[in-house]
Chain A
Amino acid sequence: MILDALSVLLLLLGLFFFVSGLLGLWRFPDTFARLHALTKADNLGLGLVMTGLLFQVPDVLWAIKFILVWLLALVASAVNAHLIAVFLHRQQEGHDESA
């Protein structure tokens, strides 16, 4: 019962950070700033959701699985952000040279 309540609390908190990331995507002025919002807020949001789910696991294997999912999502989000940032940077530099 207490564990369930803790799960719900953490899931809601995680959701709050996902919404914050989304709001950042909408309100931040440029693409670089938006990448910040997505990587940081999703990192914490998914981390909280996964921690919330940890209280519901039937065995240790599932716990390891949840932690792995979080880590894989972190890697994916960092690599994606980096690729977009490099692309954007090159584009802007090219633009500066032609100007």
Chain B
Amino acid sequence: MPLIIIVFILLLALWLLLTSGDLGSLLVGLPFIMLALWSYRLQRHAPYPLTFSFLGALRFVGFFLRESLRGGLDIALRVWQPRVSLSVAFYEYRLIFPQGPIRSFFMYCISLLPGTLSVCVSEKDTLRLHVLDDRGAVAEDLSRLEQRVCELFALPCYKRTL
């Protein structure tokens, strides 16, 4: 089965789940599913197969929830203080994931997790990101996330070389 058909079925299932199986709502849903499929075909990277690890997924969910809590608390602690204490900076990070879904996933996770925000891929495979506080352990946080993403997608665990 072509990949685009699989994506179509997944999106259809998602829509029906969200609308509790109301078929009449497809009048709205179907055009948007088509739009999503069209945008899906716009991506330019070379396709590569995706693999998942169940255990990796479990560990990733735990990690993501913990880090979400840390990220939210970090913001709350900063905004409720009489003087906002930030030390914003740009930061360069070498990406190990090739262009495609895993890299996008990694970059979006960076934006959702404490103190870091993906900006753009500046040069070849170098991610430019914005950090809220460069006094923290940015490199450690990023390599920890990277390792969890590797586990999620069942990629061979890379050796930490710095």
Contacts and interface: CB of A to CB of B under 8 A. Distances in A.
Interface of A: 16-17, 20-21, 23-24, 27-30, 32-33, 35-37, 39-41, 43-45, 47, 61, 64-65, 68-69, 74-75, 77-79, 81-82, 85-86, 89
A23 B78 CA distance: 10
Given A21-B75, A35-B117, A85-B119, A79 B108 contact: yes
A20 B88 contact: no
Nearest to B113: A40
Main secondary structure on chain B at its contact with chain A? Answer: helix
B29 to A, nearest CB: 14
Interface of A is mostly: helix
Most buried by B among A27, A30, A77: A27
B48 interface: no
Interface stretch (B64-72, B95-103, B153-161): B64-72
B76 interface: yes
Interface residues of B, number: 34
A82 B17 CA distance: 28
B18 A68 contact: yes
B68 A43 contact: yes
Interface of B: 14, 17-18, 20, 65, 68-69, 71-76, 78-80, 84, 86, 88, 107-109, 111-115, 117-120, 128, 130, 132
A48 to B, nearest CB: 8
A21 B17 CA distance: 30
A78 B120 CA distance: 13
Contacts of A36: 75, 115, 117, 130, 132
Contacts of B86: 28-29, 33
B108 A37 contact: no
Contacts of B84: 27-29
Contact of A24 (B14, B75, B117, B128): B75
A77 B73 CA distance: 18
